Structure 1
Amino acid sequence: MTDSPNSSANNKSQVPLIISAIIIALLIQGYFFIPEMRQGVNEAWNVLTSEDDKKIKQWVNGFGWLGPIVIIVTMVVQTFLLVVPTVALIVVAILAYGPWWGSLLALVAVLTASSVGYVVGKYLGRIFVDKMIGEKTEKKITAFIKDYGFWSVFLVRFNSLLSNDAISFVGGIVKMKFGKFITATAAGISPLIILIALFSQSMEDLKSGLIWVSVLSLAAFGFYLWWDKTR
């Protein structure tokens, strides 16, 4: 008895999930059974969430010329694990390398992570992404992107209160043109990076600034949605 085409397609669609599950299982086992790995992960978590300027600079500078690569790789990894917020890694880059080079590094890291997320969504598909972010979330973002295209991605990137990661996966799933997707990402994240660079010397000012900008941008977009629906 031969397998039906649907059964064959189902088997193929499960392959990415199986590979991902194996990788995640290996990482979890490594954390619990390899002391060096556990120590490294714990140290990175403590530093990245410490909000201590000196500690962050020392940690990043300890990697030498690999520091920028570590930040970019961490940005890509957090896209999948959602452990450290994108904003926190932008702050780390700016604190470690200054407002100019740090901002450039943060932009490159975000664009790289967004591109990886887009490719994963486009080529691994809906089943893989649904397992990561949930089917309901994926459907809501899909509808959001289909309705507002460029501006949906722009708003999510610009607003620090919204998840930056799910939009990349779903952008790939709906096969949004990559040029439009990456341009919207750059246009949305750049003002946020500039804002962080301006206020990075004062964490309290930075937090309040990000909250105000996020709330105002959400309010403005909410007004646009209302106007668009009643037009």
Structure 2
Amino acid sequence: MEETKTSNTTQKSKLPLYLSLLLLLGLVLSYFFIPSVKEFFNEAWEVLTSDDNARIENWVSDFGWMGPVVLVLAMVAQMFLLVIPSLALMVVSILAYGPFWGSLIVIVAVVTASSVGYAIGTYLSETLVKKLIGATTEKKIEKFIEAYGFWAVVITRINPFLSNDAISFVAGILKMGYWKFIGATLLGIAPLTLYIAIIGENTDRLKQGLLWSSLVSLLVFGGYIWWDKKKKK
């Protein structure tokens, strides 16, 4: 009886994964068999990989109330299509929908993408994750999370130039607590989002600020690692 309960719990816990795979299969089939869907995806690919924030912003704005949904889906897709930078999507979201709503869309998109990455790492094979991010990267991030846990996720999220997607996959592989992982994600992404919301329209200041914030966050975390190792000795 107890084994049956455990089995049922496991099946229920995997339901979101099965639904995600079903949705992905539906999108793939739609792409090949529905011309309008294929045309939309081809256009989306061309625009989102153009590295032209103004063009992306105009394209997203044309969708009206569906624009946020497109941005959330794009944030999920960029985990597998590395040519679409997540930082660019964050900037476009805030430029297109304003500091408040744009920031809210960014938070929803990041949490959604992080949850998908976490689910892939938790329920699918480690071999698949290694193919997505590389075995060397997977091993380095695994050691990083095992050593610093919650703060490893925070520092990765707050630094725009570190691998956000990879840490989601590996956190899932290591079975890091989901709410702990999401809490660290929110704590790390909030200051970055706030910064983009404040000076997002000034491209030069934004680039310089992101570079400096990246360097500062790495120095602070480097200092924490040094202090932690010294304390353990």
TM-score range, shorter chain: 0.7 to 0.9
Q: Write the distance in 1 (CA, Å) between the matches of 2:116 and 2:43.
A: 27
Shift of 1:230: 2.1
**In the alignment, what sits opposite 1:44?**
48
**In the alignment, what sits opposite 1:118?**
118
In percent, how many aligned pairs have the same letter? 51
**In the alignment, what sits opposite 1:172?**
172
- Aligned-residue RMSD, C-alpha: 2.3
The one-letter amino acid paired with 1:41 is W
8 A contact 1:150–1:184 mirrored in 2: yes
8 A contact 1:156–1:163 mirrored in 2: yes
Shift of 1:217: 0.6
**In the alignment, what sits opposite 1:97?**
97
Change (3 A) 1:35 1:184: closer
**In the alignment, what sits opposite 2:191?**
191
Q: Secondary structure at the match of 1:81?
A: coil
Gaps of 5+ in 1: 1-18
Correspondence 1:6-17 to 2 at 5 A = none
**In the alignment, what sits opposite 2:207?**
207
Output one character per residue of 1:163-189: Cα deviation in whole Å (capped at 9) or x when no partner.
110000000000000010000000000
The one-letter amino acid paired with 1:44 is L
Gaps of 5+ in 2: 1-20
**In the alignment, what sits opposite 1:181?**
181
Change (3 A) 1:138 1:66: same
8 A contact 1:121–1:173 mirrored in 2: yes
**In the alignment, what sits opposite 1:71?**
71
Q: Write the distance in 2 (CA, Å) between the matches of 1:138 and 1:156.
A: 14
Output one character per residue of 1:91-146: Cα deviation in whole Å (capped at 9) or x when no partner.
01101100000000000000000000000000003111011111111111111111
Q: Secondary structure at the match of 1:87?
A: helix
Q: Secondary structure at the match of 1:82?
A: coil
The one-letter amino acid paired with 1:69 is V
Q: Secondary structure at the match of 2:79?
A: helix
- Is 1:217 matched with 2:217? yes
For these two proteins, the number of residue pairs brought into alignment is 203
The one-letter amino acid paired with 1:153 is V
TM-score (norm 1): 0.82
Output one character per residue of 1:49-108: Cα deviation in whole Å (capped at 9) or x when no partner.
1133xx333211211221010000000010122221211111011011000000000000
The one-letter amino acid paired with 1:175 is K
Shift of 1:39: 3.9
- Is 1:151 matched with 2:151? yes
8 A contact 2:48–2:56 mirrored in 1: no
Q: Write the distance in 1 (CA, Å) between the matches of 2:153 and 2:47.
A: 33
Change (3 A) 1:173 1:56: same
Shift of 1:35: 7.5
The one-letter amino acid paired with 1:51 is N
Q: Write the distance in 1 (CA, Å) between the matches of 2:57 and 2:165.
A: 25
TM-score (norm 2): 0.81
